[in-house]
Amino acid sequence: MATCTDSSLKQSIIYQVYNRNHNESGTFRELIEDLPRIKSLGVDIVYLLPIHPIGKKDKKGTLGCPYSISDYRAVNPEYGTLEDFVALIEAVHEWDMKIMIDVVYNHTSRDSYLLQHHPEWFYKNAEGEFANRVGDWSDITDFDYSQHESLWEELIDCLTYWAKLGVDGYRCDVASFVPVEFWLRARREVSKINPHFIWLAETVDKDFIRTIRSLGFSVHSDCEMYQAFDICYDYDVYEAFKSYLLGKSSLDLYIRRLQDQEVIYPGNYIKLRCLENHDQRRIASLVKTVEQLNMWTTFVYLQKGTTMIYAGQEAACKHTPSLFDVDKVDWSSYNKDGIADLMAKLARLKKDDVMRDGVYTIMLGNISESVILKYETELKTRVAIFNFGLKDGELSVDIPDGIYENLVGHSSIVVRNGYLHLEGEPILIDVDNFKL
């Protein structure tokens, strides 16, 4: 991990927005109007999918993919003007939030400004054709970072340009495909403008790494990416999570993967925790009941790391909007079953110092499909309990006997003889260690 990473990022809430489908007009100006609601969810960082113009050559769908960028120094006219974007930056800051934009530096569109003016900067296949290393990305062409110092200079100059306009962070698309040395240099240059700039890497899962390396291409592991980045995606465990929800593997596998993170990454690592994003199915489409949705929502907020919400998650949306066409978020069920209220409460709870400073452990409980998560400091122990199988029973807990307030539920929790009764809602208990 970058040595200057702010540990409070563990407590941050990121709100992911795809401008095209977020609201009626899909513009920066209309997004400004939604900032009070976004802030009310306890959001710290507003993250926008790529804001740049989209290439037309071999485009996907009707409007093209936002990750097929034609010009890094311009904004997509669908969303408004540069002045509109600057107004959005200012408004986000006025609401005491930060703004992060998507950076796509593995590739450009096949008709990009840079490809037209600097074809020598791009990867070519064995036939000498402009191409990409991943076959199904048919609308883009990859950069070749291996030989051209001028490419590095141009891309870093673009990064400093947006930082000077007031952008506070970058989410870096498929960052693992780009040399870590590039990211280290870019971070040094951007830090001269904003020493508190936030760097989030979209890293890739181990099977993807294995496949790409078998093809003879370079791709970095999460361990390598932590040299330059503050936060990395948790795709190293996401497949185990999704596989459990689909009934294809055990909860034990997912929990063991989470436990492994504690020993394979730097001691102060920060992972991005999300139940859904623009590349994954909506969580409401994967769970069967409101109780399970509440359970997993609580879990992702209390897990170690930065929490990310995908716009529409607070409305319990089941449909994942298309990236390539107009496919608006359905806000008609906003705060359905109190999901938005729960998110706001969990965001407040996440700001407690114990979530930043506490020693973290996670384990399975004695009841099938139950999980116990713990943060410990000298002053306080925070215990979170999740009953993913929704099975009633007596759960063994390392908590002094007594009556405790459930900070996320609606009832008192009685611990007697080292056991508490487990039902269908998540449990969060704070124990004051100085009273013991």
8 A C-beta contact, residue 382 and residue 430: yes
* DSSP-assigned beta bridge partners for residue 29: none
* DSSP-assigned beta bridge partners for residue 370: 387
Residues of the chain with pLDDT under 50: 436
Boundaries of every domain in the chain: 7-351, 362-435
Contacts for 154 with CB less than 8 Å, ≥ 6 apart: 114, 118
Q: Are strands 198-201 and 169-172 parallel, antiparallel or unpaired?
A: parallel
At 422 the pLDDT is: 94
At 217 the pLDDT is: 87
Residue 247: Cβ-neighbour burial (10 angstroms; 0-12, 13-18, 19+)? exposed
Predicted model pTM = 0.97
* Segment (H or E) for 346: helix 339-350
Query: Alpha-carbon distance 415 to 396, whole Å?
Result: 9
Residue 290: Cβ-neighbour burial (10 angstroms; 0-12, 13-18, 19+)? middle
Handedness of CA 391, 395, 397, 403 (dihedral sign): positive
At 3 the pLDDT is: 75
| Nearest in space to 331 (alpha carbons), one of 311, 302, 353, 360 | 311
Query: Alpha-carbon distance 225 to 228, whole Å?
Result: 6
Domain 362-435 adopts which CATH fold? Immunoglobulin-like (2.60.40)
Q: Do domains 7-351 and 362-435 have the same CATH topology?
A: no
At 436 the pLDDT is: 47
8 A C-beta contact, residue 401 and residue 415: yes
Whose structure tokens read 């920066």? Answer: 28
| Nearest in space to 255 (alpha carbons), one of 179, 364, 346 | 364
Query: Alpha-carbon distance 305 to 429, whole Å?
Result: 19
pLDDT, tens digit, 9 for 90 and up, residues 250-291:
999 999 999 999 999 998 899 999 999 999 999 999 999 999
Query: Alpha-carbon distance 267 to 257, whole Å?
Result: 16
Whose structure tokens read 């909506």? Answer: 282
At 1 the pLDDT is: 63
Superfamily of domain 7-351: Glycosidases (3.20.20.80)
